[in-house]
Structure 1
């Protein structure tokens, strides 16, 4: 608290301006929804809220993965003009139940504020000062993730917490990474990094914690709920490959090539080569114990690049490499042009659905810059425990 008070005294104008920006955006969106001016937006939290209400009302968890049943629940409790599939694993359902307050709008607003707090806490775990952490949580992708009611900020917090605990508490790292598997398409890179880096205790903890989550939900509900979840994933894979939501809302090389008109098999083969290159670079960096800034950045970029399903709101993960870039700029002003270039690429990749900017190229360039950028070992990042 003393550190926070001292930092506030030095940067109170920055704090005030950033908090005003964040709260103004959230209040504007809140009033916008309450007026009925929007219908299909903020659907991800709407799905979480409806799933939680169903669970609290005595509904069967396995039925949530049936599109027909879940659409009926949305028509019953929310607006019937926008429908979304329920695709979170059964282990995520307790959190969904915890957010299912009445009325919906206040629950949604609380989740928006909590998302910004989780992003800020993730940066504080990386020893970012308060004013810079607030600055990064006010960036467009962070605010967009919050107002859309998405869960990427929670994944970011669990990812950073796991890396911060890796040195002295590897068992806790495995637990955090297992909890982060509520987004399996992003969490797929986590065991690769642990295996390549030789963090076998953390890897075993990751496997054990994951199995504990699976078996505990099987015992509490039934094994049927996991079969229903896996079937839903197969269905959404087919929808994505057919471009049900449009290809340019995704970040992957596959989606970009399909958006340009290439055949499914050609795009999938190219994406496999692209993802394989990312895995090789990630494994090499973790095996050679590169500075933590480089390893964590490559972990974030690989998570965004490996899966064909990553979406624009997942770019909130990029506030981690942006924090490192701002820190390096403070230490060496000659890096300022590089920082500006990466910020532009970040914003362009965020607006890819409008400008049709190839996000894979932008993410690859960010990774190349970090591999080429010097991070002296004596100045290496020491995360909070």
Structure 2
């Protein structure tokens, strides 16, 4: 019911949003059925686009996956260092698809990710894309099941907007979300192994900036050792597999990754970071970086303060995940699939111990809006993605502080 209907005042509407009484079970089920119908239509369209792409010279479906598959092909052919040379990487992609179309998808990821992608080169593109997406989704859902047990709503999670964004882009969101979920699930009983899972984020290290902060604050020393060991092992394995040349090439071309941000190679409206929001609002580049740095310091400081209370393994994991997209300038909507983990956790806590003001409304916004992030930012110049991530981080921090935390690590 909206303000003005049957005499309802704007103040009453605000109260309903604050209390979160409006998403009743019947409404949630009805809205979800509509959402599933829409998503099935989108997926059917996606399948048709895959079929058309397979018969044409246009960039294929899951276009972002092209960069991983092409880099894997270069490594498979014995030239892994060439994956970091944009011109050679682009040439490999064009040759593989027999097209003159420009893909403009450079490979800037650390060598451990290339090592993981290597088996994909043995498959044709569409088969590799299917294997990448399905194994990523299954692995992520399996780790979520280990973390939440019977609290995991399988269908709403698997068909969530965040999951679909990653799947349709052929990106790494399931991989990083699996590392986050596995690490959090193991942190209480197997801290060393949990640290190894978090250390696997060396494949996308800019998403792991909150890990050492929270672990140090919570005195998770064994987890820190595990993370360091995992990072060193993955880097060593990539060196053994590919040799010195790949690391030299990666380090030589790493500064070029900054040009994605500084030269407008990626539309700021596609970003989900504080930096991207500042650029969408036409702030100068240097000021945008300063705003991002200030936001990261504030978020990490808040995370440190909360983690010092030692709220327990699950809460610490949620804090790390919720902080991740706020601490780096390079975040795109598909990277946010990891936020489904704190969304599920927060919903479970609310159902078990009662809901805090605005909590259910924040959860509904965080779950439903990701498919609109780019459209609203591009057409209306309103960067809602970082607004949603800030709201979710606030909700996670407030929930942890509202609970009675244990004084020793769980």
State the TM-score, normalized to the length of structure 1: 0.85
Deviation track 1:22-50 (CA, whole Å, cap 9, x = no partner) reads 88765642332122386265222222112
Q: Note if contact 2:144-2:152 (Cα within 8 Å) is conserved in structure 1.
A: no
Is 1:35 the equivalent of 2:52?
yes
Q: Note if contact 2:309-2:405 (Cα within 8 Å) is conserved in structure 1.
A: no
Secondary structure of 2:369's aligned partner: helix
Please, which of 25, 44, 59 is the counterpart of residue 64 of structure 2?
Answer: 44
Aligned partners of 1:353, 1:56: CA distance in 2, in Å? Answer: 35
In the other structure, the counterpart of 1:372 is 398
> Residues 70-219 of structure 1 correspond to what in structure 2 (within 5 A)?
70-78=89-97, 79-81=99-101, 82-129=103-150, 132-219=153-240
In the other structure, the counterpart of 2:18 is none
Q: Note if contact 1:21-1:138 (Cα within 8 Å) is conserved in structure 2.
A: no
**Greater Cα shift, 254-263 or 131-140:** 131-140
Aligned partners of 2:180, 2:265: CA distance in 1, in Å? Answer: 30
Is 1:303 the equivalent of 2:324?
yes
Change (3 A) 1:181 1:73: same
Q: Identify unmatched segments of 5+ residues in structure 1.
A: 1-15
In the other structure, the counterpart of 1:68 is 87
Aligned partners of 2:190, 2:236: CA distance in 1, in Å? Answer: 24
Aligned length: 364
1:155 to partner: Cα distance: 0.9
Q: Note if contact 2:311-2:405 (Cα within 8 Å) is conserved in structure 1.
A: no
In the other structure, the counterpart of 1:6 is none
**Greater Cα shift, 289-298 or 171-180:** 289-298
Secondary structure of 1:265's aligned partner: helix
Aligned partners of 2:356, 2:87: CA distance in 1, in Å? Answer: 53
Aligned partners of 1:99, 1:20: CA distance in 2, in Å? Answer: 32
1:291 to partner: Cα distance: 4.4
Change (3 A) 1:334 1:163: closer
Change (3 A) 1:95 1:219: closer
Secondary structure of 1:100's aligned partner: helix
1:334 to partner: Cα distance: 4.8
In the other structure, the counterpart of 1:54 is 74
Q: Note if contact 1:144-1:313 (Cα within 8 Å) is conserved in structure 2.
A: yes
Aligned partners of 1:19, 1:364: CA distance in 2, in Å? Answer: 27
1:138 to partner: Cα distance: 1.0
Deviation track 1:78-103 (CA, whole Å, cap 9, x = no partner) reads 25422311122111223212122433
**Greater Cα shift, 82-91 or 270-279:** 82-91
Aligned partners of 2:152, 2:386: CA distance in 1, in Å? Answer: 31
Deviation track 1:239-283 (CA, whole Å, cap 9, x = no partner) reads 212221111111221121122111122111111111100111111
In the other structure, the counterpart of 1:227 is 248
1:17 to partner: Cα distance: 11
1:349 to partner: Cα distance: 5.0
Structure number with bigger Rg? 2
Please, which of 252, 269, 275 is the counterpart of residue 248 of structure 1?
Answer: 269
Aligned partners of 1:22, 1:254: CA distance in 2, in Å? Answer: 30
Aligned partners of 1:206, 1:25: CA distance in 2, in Å? Answer: 39
Aligned partners of 2:314, 2:183: CA distance in 1, in Å? Answer: 14
Q: Identify unmatched segments of 5+ residues in structure 2.
A: 1-32, 378-382
